Structure 1
Amino acid sequence: MLKKPVLLTLIGLLLPAFSVHAAPVSLQSQDTARYALATYPEPLIASLATMVSFNTVADPAVPFADNPQHTGFKRYLAQEAQRLGFDFHDHGHVLVIGMGKGNERVGVITHGDVQPVNPAKWARSPFELAK
Structure 2
Amino acid sequence: MITAPCAPEPIEIDISNLSAEDLQSLKQDDPFLYYSIPAVRRAVFNLEEPDMSESSLEESTTVKRCTRVSFECHSDLIMEDLMGGFEGDFEDEFDQSDLEQMDLEFFKFLEQANARQQ
The answer to whether the superposition gives a TM-score over 0.5 is no
**Structure 2 length-normalised TM:** 0.24
Tell me which protein shows more strand as a share of its residues: 1
Q: Which has the larger radius of gyration?
A: 2
Query: TM-score, with normalisation over the residues of structure 1?
Result: 0.22
